[in-house]
Each structure stands twice: as C-alpha cells, then as structure tokens.
Structure 1
Amino acid sequence: MKKLLAFTVLFLAFYASVEAQTKDKEPNIILIFIDDMGWADLSSFGNTDAQTPNIDKMASEGISFEQFYVNSPICSPSRVAISTGTYPQRWNITSYLDHEKNNNARGMANWLDPSAPMLARNLQLAGYSTGHFGKWHMGGQRDVTDAPPITDYGFDKSLTNFEGMGPKLLPMTKDETGKVGKIWQDAEILGEGYTWVQRSEITTGFVDAALDFIEEASGEGKPFYVNIWPDDVHSPFWPPFEEYGLAKEAGKRALYLAVLEAMDQQMGKLFEYIQANEELKENTLILLCSDNGPELGAGKAGNLKGYKTHLYEGGIRSSLIVWGPGFIDKSAVGSRNKESVFSAIDFTPSLLAFTKSPKTSLSDGENVIKTILGKSKDSRQAPIFYSRPPDRKNYYGIENLPDLAVRDGKWKLLCDYDGRRPELYDMVKDPGETTNLADANSDITKRLVREVTSWYATMPQL
C-alpha cells in the first residue's frame, strides 16, 4: 500500500510538472487534410464496410463535428480556403489547378498569389516552426513549372507530391502480378529533390517527415504548426501490394476502402508518437477533415446528396475531428457536436486567436475557437457562400447543376448565377436536400438569392 501511495504521489508530481511546463508554452497544431474522403467514410461516422480504428480513437478522446463545411467541392480552392481563411474566389482559384492552357481557359490563376494571407506565415512570424508534408495543389503541377516553392507561403520546410514545388515523393505502383509502374512521371520536371515511393506507402513518408520535423522543433524548444495532407484517399487507388489483387477483383469501392484502412494505419504512427510523449500530448491540438466530398463509386457521404464537385451537401460537408486533451473542455471529450455550423475559412482566425498570434490582413472567417474546443456550441454568424467549379456544370450524372450556394442558419439555398432555379432546404429537418421549399418560403428564398448573387458579384469574375 505504501509503495502504491508513493508511486501515485510520484506520478501526480510528474504530471503536475509536465502541466506546468506546457502551460506557458504556445500550443502545437497539426492539421490533417485528407483527400476526397466522404462525410460517412470514417467508421466513427457510420462506415460499416471498413474500419478506421486510429482515427476513431482520436474521435473518442476528442470532438466530432457533424455540420462542418469546407469551402469548395473540389481540391485546389478548398486548400486555398483552409490555408488563407478567405474565399478561394478572391484568388481566381475556383477549380483544380491543371495545365496552364486549361487554367487560362477557365479564367483561373496558375498558382496562389504568394501575397495571400497565410495561417502558416502568421504563425511563422509568431515564432512557430512551420512544415507542410503532403499534397499542395495550390501551384506547381502538370506543365506549370514556374510556380513559387511552398516555402514562399510561410513554411520552413516542405515535402509534397506531384502537385507542388519543392522536394517531393512521387508514386510508384505494383499490381497483383508484381509489375511496377509510375504515376505522373512528368512531375520530375517540377524541380530536383524527388524520390519514387510505392503509392501505398506515401502517407508513411509524409508522416515520417513530419515526425522528424516535430522532433527537431521540440528539441529547439519551439512550438510547431504542421500540415499533413496525404494523397489518400484520392484515386487512382493503390492499396498495399498484398491486398491489391483481392480488392481489385471486388471493384472500385473495395480498392477505395483498402486505401482508407491503410491510410488510417499509417496515420496511427503519428497519433501514437504524440500520445506517448506527455508534453506533446498535453500541448498539441490536432484537427482532421477532408478537402471535399467523395468520388462517385468510391467514398460515401451517408444520406447527404451529391459528391465531389457538387454544391450539394455531399460535396462540401466534411467530417471533422478535433483532438487535444490539454485544451478540449473535459465535458466535451468523446462528444458529437451536431448543431454548430462553421467552415474551413474559420480555422485561420480561430487558430491565430488560440495561439495569440497576429491576425491576417484579410479574412472571411470568424473566430470559433470556443466551439472547436468544446467550450461553446455557437455557429459562425455570417453565411457561408459557394460557387461551383466553372468546369463542372454537368457532372456525375447530374445535368445543369446549380452555380451558387449559401448556408445561413438552418437554411441552405442553391441557384444559378442569375438567381434563377432556386432550391431551398431546411438543413435541420432535411440534410439530404430532398424537399425544395423555395416556393413555400418566398421571402427567405428572395433574401438568400440576393445575398449569394451579391456576394458572387464582389468576387473576381471569370
């Protein structure tokens, strides 16, 4: 009994010491941005076809948000929004960045303007070590070889894939016969420092690089901000070699699920590293979400309508998990927030306030850090506005898709650029967007049409 008491006293003293050491330190932040994962693809969000135990464990120790939105249904603009805290339309990035000719044809920039406000840059100026590990896709892809390097956007170090400038991991493949191939071989023209790695192991490569960076920053006594943005679970789907043959026989969905489970397993290494270090565990905030909805036939969004590229809920609503034992309100641990509505542009002002860092010069987001940490269930006050990718008027079997959308309180409205063909949905009663209430609520419809078309008129026009 005396030994047990002595051990308890020593443990409490150690914990108090760690808490005292971390109390006055700036918090560490890790932002995990998964690629093309559907709202219902995590098993903690209802997936019964595959299991994501490592991410689920983070959810059980953190908060899951059911009404979190990204700011575009497609890759590049969604990444611009979460990085800058602004609508991507401000920077003429409204669809995925492609070859220069295709970008110009769609009225788009070839890369994000380096003068854009950046969460990473403001944290860097506040003394943070900043690293980006994973997909970038905000400049430097296909034949666009003169884009700025990622380090020009406020990052001390970067490791990316075939859609970014700077050191990169490029994907090799191996099929069920053992045949080896390469994806995006032309990406070698985007600069030196590339390493060819099996596609199924690239997430591990990004995690390992991030862990080295974290260890270095911790050794220097500096807080860190780290992006871990895997290629997963974007197509083409290349799960580990030993699983590829069986998954391929079962079809596209099976290949996708095998990649999803492999990604979760690879992410487990990061989570275990943070959890095993008491100081990091108590002083690190992790946010995990997807950049947009799922590809048709691969991921799923539950009962939500639509897919990637659509302004319906399936294209823009993302499962969000926030983990941080030292910061999350104890009463919210393991909870599901079903009512708070906010979006990726709110991360920048929220995290800058959380770290007591200088605000950016321009922001469309709001500070919702109390909601993120489970200390409130407030939503953002302003509406969330959208415009569709200009090259996606007809996609995934739906013709004449709406051009604009707005979420305001419980209401969601979609319409065309000229305000015609309005669709109005009560998102509390009808998250699947099945019953158009536009005619029955003409005043609300007119107000939201006016607001979203006015917003779009203030953005640079294509």
Structure 2
Amino acid sequence: MNRRHFLKRLGAAALLGAGVSVSRSVSGVREAKGPNFVFFLVDDLGWMDLGCFGSRFYETPNVDRLAAQGMRFTNAYAACPVCSPTRASIMTGKYPARLRTTDYFGAPQPDTVQRHWTRDKPLLPARYRDRVPLEEVTLAEAFKQHGYATFFAGKWHLGPEGFWPEDQGFDFNKGGHDRGGPYGGKRYFSPYGNPRLSDGPDGEHLPDRLATETCEFIEEHRDGPFLAYLSFYSVHTPLMAREDLKAKYEAKARTIEHDGPAWGKEGDREVRLVQDHAVYAGMVEAMDQAVGKVLDALDRLDLTRETIVFFMSDNGGLSTSEGHPTSNLPLRAGKGWLYEGGIREPMIVRWPGRVQAGSVCDEPVTSTDFYPTMLEMAGLPAKPEQHLDGRSMVPLLRQQGPQKARALYWHYPHYGNQGGTPGGAIRLGDYKLIEFYEDSRVELYNLRDDLGEEKDLSAAMPEKAAQLRQMLHQWRSDVGAAMPTANPNHEI
C-alpha cells in the first residue's frame, strides 16, 4: 500500500471514530461522507421572539418543534449588537474587533460622519472594514475544500460585489449581495429587484421563496454532503407582513391583557415593553413557516437523521427604534445596545443521535463558536488560525459537563441607529461589565441574579469591576481593536 492510500484509509478511520459515515465509491476506494448541515440565521430576531423561548404572542410551531428535537441554548450571544459584524464572526470564527468589521456595512466612517445624524456626538466612530477579506478562509470555504456542496440564500451584507457569497466559498447564491435588507422592488414581495434572485410571480413572499430555493438545493444534493445556509432577510425592517397573518395577529392582540406598561425609556429612547405588534408577529410566523418547509423537506427526503440543524439570530430584537416592533423583556434594551437585549440570542441545535431531544444548555456561547463546532461535528481538521476566537460546543452538545470558564467580549465603537453609544463589554461567569467610551464609566451586573441589568454593582464591587475592565482593555490590545476618537465638532 502506498503512502497516499495509507493516509486516506487512516483519515477514514479517524472520521469513523468521529461519527462520520464512510461509504464505498464506484472505484471501490472507501470515501468519507460527513453529515449534512442546515444553518438558519434570522435577522433581528429577539431572544423572546419564539414560543420555545417564552413568547406568548408570536406563534412559532416549527422552530418550537426544532427545539423539542434538539438543544436550546439560553446563554447564546451574537458577537455584536448589529448585523454585519455578527455575520462576519460566523463566517470566520473571529471577533469583529479582530477583523475590524465592527459596524453594519454602510454605516458612517469617521471621515463621512459629517453627513450623518451622529456628526455632533462626542466621539467620531472608529474606522471599520466594510467587507470580509478574501484572505479569510470562511466556514463555507472550509467545507467546500472537503467536498461539501455549499449553498447560500437570503441576506449576506458582508461586502460589495466581489465579496459576495460566491466569492467566499458558496457554490450557489440565491439573494445574497451588499444590501442589509430587502430594499429593491416590492421588498418582501416579488418583484424583488434583487441582483442575485430572479423575480417570482407577482406577490410571491420572500421568506417562502428562500425556503423553496433551499429545499430545491437539498433535493438536488441529497446524496451529500452539503451545507445549506438560509439567512433570512426577515424579520428586519421594512415591517411588512402577509395580509392574512397581519389580520390574524390584529385579532389576537385585541384579546390580550398586559400586566404592566406598554412603553418604557432606555436613555432618550422609548422602548417597547410588550409583544403585540401584529405586522411583526406576521413576519415572525412567516419565517417560522419557511423553517418548517425546509425541515419537512429533510423529513420527506429521509435526510433528517444525517443532517445537523442550527438556528440563530444575528442581534437582539428591535425595541428602541424604527417602529419598535418587539419587546425583549426581561432583557434590557435591544438591537444596537450592549445590554442583554441587544446581544443575547435564541439558539437551537438539532444533532440527531448525538443531542438529547428537548435538552437545554445554560453555558455561555457566542457566534464565533459555530465554525470550530461544525468542523468537529463533520470530523474535519480544526485550524485555529482560521477560527481564532471560537471554541467547539461539541462537549456541551454531548452534555459532557461544563467547559472551562472563559470570558466573552464585545466591542462596538460606534453610535447605533437604535440609540446605543460606543462601548465594549465582557462577560465572565455570572458577571458582565459594560464600558462606555464617551466618558469611560462602567456598569457591572450579576446576570444570574439580575437578568434585566437593573442593579449596577460597579460601586459596591470595585475590585470585580477593575478586574473585568483590565481584562477588557487587555483583550482590545491583543486583537488590535480600533477605538473611536474625540470629535472636534462636538460642543461641550
């Protein structure tokens, strides 16, 4: 046996040990076939926006079914309180601060802020990179290199043309380009005016169309292995729902009595405190129906047992701006803020035969963790330089006990459209510290006792605050985080 064939057989044996099936090709040589992957990423979906996470208004039976068949993560985080940075973190396994992809792509740069509503703020935003560098080996590229067919549908928002899904490892791209929302044509309804998605029949609904494209890819590549990444434009603005779903939730809203006030304040912004927005509810249910369409296709094609499914949101629910469509209570604030409402996400993993159905994990995880997790699941080699800031969740999924404690970090050196200000944050164990860059003040919270971040402990626990602040500063130095600067136009 020559060295090449020996190494191939040795690799196949290793994959068998990792739970990856091995089949015989036409030539008789044994070849590994890894599990299939379906990844659902929802835009702007809040932690409380699913029935399985506690919503009593929105109806999400298909995602609830997914949770009942898999593991629900209660302390899952996006790497940023806005979209593009989190999406980049999933694709690269790296913190946005390390990549300098720290704001949504299209946000003002320090030399263009004069034309933006933030022009008179105390700080100029840090300069950010508005594309994922082609030099990065993306999640899709890593799987493609090992024989996976790769498919992307929906919102990309990770760079201009030349940096779209087809340039970053995806064989197929249905709808992914530079825009952060469905802003062409009739928006959520055909004609779409999308350069990477052909128009359907007049009035066709975008979430359903993206699900249909995903199902067709899965059926055509049913012999696998494949990675299907369905990245919804939903439930991002513009707030638009099918008329039947809007009417359904308008009627439902009239039957609900709320225990407390409907509105509160977060800084100078109004914040929604109840879930009763009929249009948004219709958008959530349409997303859920699209998820169900894909899950049903896996069942119909007898692929469920060999397909791992992920479900996640890219940032917190929109509660303080742009229509204030949802409430994240008991979490504080929402999209664009470093409070829990802006970064804690509903996350579910279904791994048939490996993950206990209906299980729950309370360990903190973050969006950089998907990359190494999926590689390990597939029995593919981990290359830490490709996913420096991620850690495999496989031990958690297999309920092998808690992993070694680690700190999670956030860096958002920008002013958010939703009212948030430049800042950074660290979570270590139960404690979370937020540093506000305008005046360097900090707030410290014990999330186990105070999920709503109502009691600032920084004055009562100065040593803990100092420890976390020092760790945050050291991390920023280690990753080369770009900082905002004083705005010379600001009037004190």
User: Given the two structures, how large is their TM-score scaled by the length of structure 1?
Assistant: 0.81
Q: 1:216 to 1:206 in 2, by over 3 A?
A: same
Q: 1:88 to 1:99 in 2, by over 3 A?
A: closer
* Match 2:379 to one of 349, 356, 360: 356
CA distance in 1, matches of 2:328, 2:204: 24
| Contact residue 171 and residue 198 of structure 1 kept, 8 A | no
Q: Is 2:373 the counterpart of 1:343? A: no
Superimposed CA distance per residue, residues 297-353 of structure 1 (whole angstroms, 9 cap, x where no aligned partner): 21232301110010000000001111122331xxx311222x211111011111111
Deviation at 1:25, TM superposition (A): 3.3
Q: Is 2:331 the counterpart of 1:327? A: no
* Match 1:273 to one of 268, 291, 297: 297
Q: Is 2:457 the counterpart of 1:432? A: no
Deviation at 1:95, TM superposition (A): 1.2
* Match 1:390 to one of 402, 405, 414: 414
Aligned to 1:65: 73
One-letter identity of the residue aligned with 2:434: L
CA distance in 1, matches of 2:370, 2:70: 17
CA distance in 1, matches of 2:346, 2:98: 26
One-letter identity of the residue aligned with 1:267: V
SS in 2 for 1:76: helix
Aligned to 1:15: none
Structure-to-structure mapping, 1:64-83, within 5 angstroms? 64-83=72-91
Q: 1:68 to 1:307 in 2, by over 3 A?
A: same
One-letter identity of the residue aligned with 1:448: L
| Contact residue 373 and residue 391 of structure 2 kept, 8 A | yes
Q: Is 2:288 the counterpart of 1:264? A: yes
SS in 2 for 1:439: coil
Aligned to 2:340: 313
Q: 1:32 to 1:409 in 2, by over 3 A?
A: same
Relative to its length, the structure with more helix (as a share) is: 1
Superimposed CA distance per residue, residues 368-387 of structure 1 (whole angstroms, 9 cap, x where no aligned partner): 2121x242342464311111
Aligned to 2:186: 172
Deviation at 1:201, TM superposition (A): 1.4
Q: 1:298 to 1:234 in 2, by over 3 A?
A: same
SS in 1 for 2:63: helix
Aligned length in residues: 415
CA distance in 2, matches of 1:181, 1:211: 19
One-letter identity of the residue aligned with 1:54: N
One-letter identity of the residue aligned with 1:85: G
Deviation at 1:52, TM superposition (A): 0.5
Structure-to-structure mapping, 1:414-425, within 5 angstroms? 414-417=434-437, 420-425=440-445
Which moved further from structure 2: 347-356 or 194-203?
A: 194-203
Q: 1:384 to 1:171 in 2, by over 3 A?
A: farther
Q: Is 2:392 the counterpart of 1:367? A: yes
Aligned to 1:211: 215
For structure 1, list consecutive stretches of 5 or more residues without a partner in the other structure: 1-18, 141-145, 175-179
Which moved further from structure 2: 250-259 or 306-315?
A: 250-259
Q: 1:80 to 1:103 in 2, by over 3 A?
A: farther
User: Given the two structures, how large is their TM-score scaled by the length of structure 2?
Assistant: 0.77
CA distance in 1, matches of 2:444, 2:168: 39
Aligned to 2:122: none
The CA RMSD measured in Å over matched residues stands at: 3.1
| Contact residue 232 and residue 260 of structure 1 kept, 8 A | yes
| Contact residue 71 and residue 316 of structure 1 kept, 8 A | yes
Q: 1:104 to 1:126 in 2, by over 3 A?
A: farther
CA distance in 2, matches of 1:406, 1:44: 27
Structure-to-structure mapping, 1:140-155, within 5 angstroms? 140=160, 146-155=161-170
Q: 1:434 to 1:99 in 2, by over 3 A?
A: closer
Deviation at 1:182, TM superposition (A): 7.1
Aligned to 1:10: none
* Match 2:237 to one of 229, 235, 238: 235
Q: 1:101 to 1:409 in 2, by over 3 A?
A: closer
CA distance in 1, matches of 2:476, 2:201: 42
Q: Between the two proteins, what is the percent identity of the paired residues? A: 27
One-letter identity of the residue aligned with 2:446: D
CA distance in 2, matches of 1:31, 1:334: 19
CA distance in 2, matches of 1:259, 1:198: 19
CA distance in 1, matches of 2:171, 2:186: 27
Q: 1:103 to 1:152 in 2, by over 3 A?
A: farther
One-letter identity of the residue aligned with 1:348: Y
Aligned to 2:13: none
